[in-house]
Amino acid sequence: MAAVDLDLVLSLYKTPGAAQLKLDVAPRFNLGDVVVALNINPPGHTRLPRYIRGKKGVVERDHGVFHLPDSRAAGKGDAAQHMYTVCFDAREVWGKEAPANDSLRINLWDDYMTLA
């Protein structure tokens, strides 16, 4: 365990974007790929919300490499993989009552998706 002092705490606030990893990891998806969010129900931590599981979307942006939160929360290591913005049509997510032109963007990791 590291000793916590003022310099250490201040350094955290002065280091923007610290969560992004400078690692050379190949992305599993390309921009424009049509993907389906996996239907997973892990008892542990995940950043894949229930309402998006099984829904189809389009990969819109690749943010680079980040820790997979599911792995890191479980103490299973800092699995490094790409994290993307994926765009879902509102009606794909919420059905025909959703406005036709609405969409929802959500950040998803490689492990959360498969090609449609």
Q: How far is the CB of 5 from another protein (least distance, A)?
A: 9
In the region spanning residues 65 to 84, those forming contacts with another protein, defined by CB under 8 A, are 67, 69-70, 72-75
Spatial distance between the Cα atoms of 72 and 81, rounded to a whole number of angstroms: 12
Spatial distance between the Cα atoms of 100 and 72, rounded to a whole number of angstroms: 38
35 to 64: interface string for another protein, x by CB under 8 A: ------xxxxxx--xxx-------------
CA–CA distance from 18 to each of 11, 14, 21, 65, 66 (Å)?
A: 11, 10, 8, 11, 10
Nearer to another protein, 45 or 63 (CB): 45
* Helix/strand/coil for 107: strand
> Count of CB atoms within 10 A of residue 63's CB?
13
Nearer to another protein, 19 or 31 (CB): 19
Residues that bind another protein (CB under 8 A): 1-4, 8-9, 12, 41-46, 49-51, 67, 69-70, 72-75, 93-94
